[in-house]
């Protein structure tokens, strides 16, 4: 969720939303890592450990589309919708619907959960602190750098989970399998859009090749200019 220009109650709400979201994803990340340390490659109990928390916290992210529609944040509605929709399909359409080890106890699930949780811990903590004017340079750098690795890793995990769900979807109805396949076919253009969007944001926020963050004033100026252009459009 992008940083908001709103003040008062709206800002308080957004700080709370980002803080709670960070807490949820941190819980999922810590529990996943602890499970892997305790059980290694035996993934039979992984979903029981983190699955319901994962579904709950990811479903809550649907509020980000509402935030964009209401103008509480600067992020575009389409970008928020693409990110939320694909994940809701994964958690409800695959993980919740199909209780099979090749889906709930697979390395693909581990890859997906780790990529999601690391990304979101950085993202939500960065936004929550930014809303109260606290800048942590390392969080800023990670926010606009980790996506180079985590986006492809997360997408790979997502596609593998959907692939494993295809036979079970077909057993319910052939149309459901086709629906899953169509969603999988949509991943390349969506990934391209999100990836290039993040590269653009990285250049704007970090500057150049992004070896170190720009000054706060420079970033604020860039964001103000971008906001003014958006309003003119």
Catalytic residues: 151, 158
SS (H, E, C) 90-115: HHHHHHHCCCCHHHHCCHHHHHHHHH
Q: Considering only CA atoms, which of 77, 158, 59 is closest in space to residue 115?
A: 158
For residues 171 and 87, what is the distance between their CA atoms, to the nearest angstrom? 22
For residues 2 and 124, what is the distance between their CA atoms, to the nearest angstrom? 9
For residues 12 and 86, what is the distance between their CA atoms, to the nearest angstrom? 28
Q: In this structure, how many other beta carbons lie within 10 angstroms of the beta carbon of residue 108?
A: 18
């Amino acid at each position: 969720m992008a940083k908001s220009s709103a003040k008062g109650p709206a800002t308080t709400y957004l700080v709370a939303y980002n803080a709670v979201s960070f807490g949820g994803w941190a819980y999922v990340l810590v529990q996943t890592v602890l499970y892997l340390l305790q059980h290694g490659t035996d993934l039979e109990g992984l979903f029981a450990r983190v699955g319901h928390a994962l579904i709950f916290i990811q479903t809550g992210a649907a509020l980000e589309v509402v935030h964009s529609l209401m103008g509480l944040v600067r992020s575009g509605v389409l970008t928020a919708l693409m990110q939320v929709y694909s994940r809701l399909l994964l958690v409800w359409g695959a993980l919740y619907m199909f209780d099979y080890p090749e889906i709930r106890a697979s390395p693909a699930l581990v890859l997906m959960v780790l990529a999601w949780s690391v990304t979101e811990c950085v993202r939500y903590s960065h936004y929550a602190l930014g809303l109260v004017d606290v800048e942590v340079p390392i969080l800023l750098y990670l926010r606009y750098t980790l996506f180079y690795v985590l986006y492809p890793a997360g997408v790979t995990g997502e596609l593998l989970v959907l692939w494993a769900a295809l036979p079970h979807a077909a057993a319910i109805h052939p149309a459901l399998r086709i629906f899953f396949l169509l969603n999988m076919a949509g991943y390349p253009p969506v990934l391209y859009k999100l990836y290039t969007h993040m590269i653009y944001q990285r250049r704007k926020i970090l500057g150049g090749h992004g070896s170190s963050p720009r000054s706060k004033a420079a970033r604020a100026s860039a964001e103000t200019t971008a906001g003014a252009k958006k309003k003119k459009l």
